[in-house]
Each structure stands twice: as C-alpha cells, then as structure tokens.
Amino acid sequence: MPPPTQTARQELDAIVTALQLKDDFPPAVMAEVEALVRAPGIDDPLLVDRTSIPFVTIDNAHSKDLDQAVHVARDGDGFLVAYAIADASFYVRPGSALFAEAMARGASYYFPGFSVPMLPRALSEGLVSLNPDGPRRALLFWHSLDAKGELRGTRLERARVRSRAKLSFSQVQRLIDAPGASPLAGSEYEASLKLLKVIGEHRIHLAAERGLVRYRREEVTISLDGEGLKFAVMELVRDDVELWNEQVSLMCNAEGGRLLRESNNPAVQPIYRVQGGPDPERLAGLARLTERVCALNGLPETPWRWHLERPLADYLRALPQAPTGTKEDRLARALARQAVMVNLRSEYSMEPGPHVGVGAEPYARFSAPMRELVGVFLHKEAVELLTGKHPTAEEDEKLRAEVVQVANRARDTQRKVQNLSNEVVMNRVFAPELGKPKAQRTRFTGTVMGLAGSKVHVRLDAPPMDVKVLLFDLAPAFGGAWLEVADDGAVLREKAKTEPLLLLGQAVSLRVAKRDEKYRRWVLELVR
C-alpha cells in the first residue's frame, strides 16, 4: 500500500460522505435556529428559578456540547443531588424542521478530532449547551439520598439554571487529590465537588453489593495531530471523578425511566434502553476457560478461576491489578475482555426490561438530549408528565416507534464510524512499514486478548489498538502447521497435538508482512 496521498482529515471526511452524514443543515433548520436565538425562552415564567445554585459541568476538556450540570449538598444525614440536563426538547419540537432533521440524523457521530452533530452547533454548543456564560433552560432532576447513598426519592422540574464553570475530569480530580494546590479550592462549588466523591463512592459500593459487574474500561483517544497529517493515539484510564459523575448520570437515567413507567397516564410514551443477561452457555464457557487458563499457566484457582456460582463482579474485582506489561497484568486484562464478550448488546425498546450492564430496570437515556434523538423524545415525555399536556396518544405512539427505529439505526451507524475510523488509523500506523526491509520493520508488542475461530485477537501496547491475526497468517511462524483454537479459547495449538503454541493473555510480538488490498486488511506475522 503506498503512503496516503490525502490528509487524515480528508480520509475521515470520505467516511462522512460514504455514510451519507453531513455537517451542514438545510436553510429551514437554520432559520428556526436564528429565531430561537432571538427568543430563547430563558425568561419563561413557567420555569422555576434555580440560578442561585452553583452548578458546574464536568466533562472531557475538549467537550463543547455540555448536556449535564451537577450540584450536591448535605440534606440532614443524607444528600440532595441536583442534576440539570439541557432542555433540548423545548427547542427541538415535533413538527419543526429541527425535529425532522434530528430524526434524519438520529444522533451525533464522533470521529477522531471532530464530530458530525445531530443539532446545529449554535444550539448544541451554544444556546442549549449548559455553558457558564449565562442562564439556560434545563430539565432538573432532584435526587434525595440517605446517608449510605440509597435513593429516597426523585422529582422533576423544568428550571432556569446557571452553570458557574466548565470543568474537566482532571481539574476536579486534582481538587480531590491535592486541594491545597487546586485553583478550585475556595470556590462556591468546592463543597459540592467533594460531596460528589462521597455519593459517587457510596453508589459504586451499593452497585457492587447488588453484584453489578464493573469491567476495566480504558478509553483510547485518537486525535488529529498538527495539521491533520498524523494521528496521535493515546490510551486514557478514567479518573475516579469520571466514575463518580457517571453514577449520577446512571441514577438519573434509571429514575427517569421509572417515573415514566409508573405514570398512570396512558399518553406518556417511554422509551427504554434494555440489555438482557448473558447467555448461560457463554457463562459456562467462560468458567471452563478460566479453569483451562489456570491449568495451562500453572496458576492457583484463587484469584484466577471463576466458578458459575460465584458473582462475576466479585471475580473481576479480585483479578490482580499488576504493573502494566507484566504477565499478570496481561492475563487479567485478557480475562476481563473475555468476560465482556459474554454480554449481549443493548438496544432501545418501547417495552421495559432489565439493563444488566448498568444494573437497572427500567433504564432510559435522559442524559444526552443534544447528542441522541431518543433524549429529545424522553425529555418531551417528561415535560408532558409534569404539565399533563399531551398530543393524541395515537400520534405519539407512532412517533415513539419511529424514534426507536432511528435510535437503533444510529447506534449501528456509530459502530460503522468507529470501525472505518479505526481502519484509517491502522493504515496510518502500518503503511510506513512497507517501505522498510522486513528485518527492520517495527516489532509491535501486544497481548493475546482472544483466541476464537480462525483469528487471534491482539491488543497492541503502543499504539493501543486491537488487531486481528488470521490463523492462516500465523501458520508460517510454526512451520506451516495446521493450527486450531482449543480449550474454550484458552490455547492455540497445532491440530491433533497438545503442545500449546499461544496462550490467552500471552505477550506476543508482531510485524507487518503485507497489505491485502482485495480484503482491505493488513497481514501481520508473528515474530518469534
């Protein structure tokens, strides 16, 4: 494959075009935006004035569409959590050009270094976003918690709020870890941020008591570097404050779903996000896999083997947190990845059901109304619950079915965006290798994360990317042997033999062999 003739941004823009996404908006939509900017509805007398509460937004440093703002206060022996969510449904109403365009898009789509928004940026990054430059409309969740973080109750209101600051996760983490060195110390929201830690830890503890599985989540940020000619690939392990903030979001979504489900008004039309439990056969396979891993590696059953009768959450928490790159670290990461693979995908549904990934039933996505059409619809339903004013049930039922279809299609599109973007990144990393003699090509070290079917799944150390190596391509490294995956994915061996060739969790070294243009894939070979 010759070196790319386009910039990285041009290659990504080609994906935008191929998926029929678009960054610009029709004139009718922009005319509505201009009218809303002139009359933003901030002074609506029906809004409860909560501008005295020192809300803050906490997000990634580069985020511009700020959906949520939070404030935590003591309430007797418990806590009162105020969670303000941008009031997108006030501006994006059924029958408008804005709503029709949001229906056509379904969601915002995220690429390395940029996004294709669902709503015009004048709304999603301006008028609707909870920026700290003036009052905003919000759907406000009030959560009352007891001293242990258990929910005592939730109520909703449509309010006028004013964020005091746009904070990043790292800024808040520095305040918690070293308050004396943080510029946030002494601010009017310092006490709220410290209480966020308290309730966040309480909620995480309660989730663990319920057996909720917490997987090792690491986010890989791929950003355009300089003028977009190269990619900088960075692996980010989430700060504790992100986990605490996430607990408030999960609580909001679960409570929002509950309030809509428990409404006695047949005109209220909830949409739920559901995820069924793991398939029993997959769980049994995972148990057998851990047994074989112990035997093949000579490891003690504790903490490495998982038994079906033991909560999976307990097993994953007990896996060693070893130094990065050690044998124990690689194996623990591989086993955690295999545990993720037993899960089903979540989807949007008109019928309530469990979402095992977050440990809630029901669960509804209220927290991203500027990035997901389903959030706009749910906010609309929440407002109708508050006011008692509804469209005809028949019209709303039809609209709900369309929104569910659009929302699930948008999730599929985002997966395509991710896969195609990863292909661009991989091309950028591997293409220069073809210009080198094979012996001088980079040796990419990584971890065997999965052995399944005809492939070996490897997570590279640097850059932190997932790659697939076909057994056919590995065979030459083993004298052309006929290879097979055995023992529920614990080992790769030569067919009809018992000697292991590769083990789950093993460190491996790969290099680029060639580019297969017919199948648009990179052929990687094992370096022994």
CATH number of the domain where residue 487 is located: 2.40.50.140
- Domain final position from 376, 393, 424: 424
| 446 and 351 in a common domain | no
Structure tokens that stand for 226 in this block: 């300089």
The mean pLDDT value of the chain amounts to 92
Give mean pLDDT, residues 263-289.
92
User: Residue 14 domain-assigned?
Assistant: yes
Number of independent structural domains in the chain: 2
| 13 and 115 in a common domain | yes
Nearest CA among 244, 39, 49 for reference residue 138? 49
CA distance 293 to 412: 34
| 103 and 15 in a common domain | yes
Give mean pLDDT, residues 7-28.
93
pLDDT at 225: 63
User: Residue 47 domain-assigned?
Assistant: yes
User: Residue 288 domain-assigned?
Assistant: no
User: Residue 77 domain-assigned?
Assistant: yes
User: Residue 331 domain-assigned?
Assistant: no
pLDDT at 234: 55
Task: Provide the pLDDT confidence category of residue 208 given band limits of 50, 70 and 90.
Answer: confident
**Residue 393 pLDDT exceeds 80:** no
pLDDT at 220: 63
CA distance 283 to 346: 18
Query: At 252, phi and psi to the nearest 5?
Result: -60, -45
Whether the full predicted model's pTM is greater than 0.85, yes or no, is: yes
Task: Give the DSSP letter of residue 267.
Answer: T
| 463 and 413 in a common domain | no
| 129 and 31 in a common domain | yes
| 357 and 244 in a common domain | yes
Q: Which residues in 201-214 are b (16+ Cβ under 10 Å) and which e?
A: ebbbebbbeeebbe
User: Residue 397 domain-assigned?
Assistant: yes
Q: Is 182 helix (H, G, I), strand (E, B) or coil?
A: coil
pLDDT at 390: 83
State which residues form the domain around 479: 438-526
- Domain final position from 424, 448, 477: 424
| 228 and 181 in a common domain | yes
pLDDT per residue as tens digits for the range 508-517? 999 999 999 9
| 100 and 46 in a common domain | yes
**Residue 230 pLDDT exceeds 60:** no
| 512 and 480 in a common domain | yes
pLDDT per residue as tens digits for the range 234-243? 555 568 999 9
**Residue 229 pLDDT exceeds 50:** no
User: Residue 2 domain-assigned?
Assistant: no
Beta strands per DSSP E along 205-317 = 218-225, 230-237, 272-274
How far does Cα 379 stand from its chain's mean position? 21
- Domain final position from 424, 459, 494: 424
Report whether the peptide linkage leading into residue 463 is cis, meaning its omega lies within 30 degrees of zero.
Answer: yes
**Residue 288 pLDDT exceeds 90:** yes
Task: Provide the pLDDT confidence category of residue 247 given band limits of 50, 70 and 90.
Answer: very high
Residue with tokens 């700020």: 66
pLDDT at 4: 63
pLDDT per residue as tens digits for the range 134-193? 999 999 999 999 999 999 999 999 999 999 999 999 999 999 999 999 999 999 999 999
| 378 and 510 in a common domain | no
pLDDT at 237: 58
| 107 and 43 in a common domain | yes
**Residue 126 pLDDT exceeds 70:** yes
pLDDT at 218: 60
Query: 220, 418 in Cβ contact below 8 A?
Result: no
Nearest CA among 464, 452, 463, 453 for reference residue 504? 452
Structure tokens that stand for 385 in this block: 């619950």
User: Residue 303 domain-assigned?
Assistant: no
| 170 and 69 in a common domain | yes
Nearest CA among 390, 54, 375, 83 for reference residue 190? 54
pLDDT per residue as tens digits for the range 355-374? 988 889 999 999 999 999 99
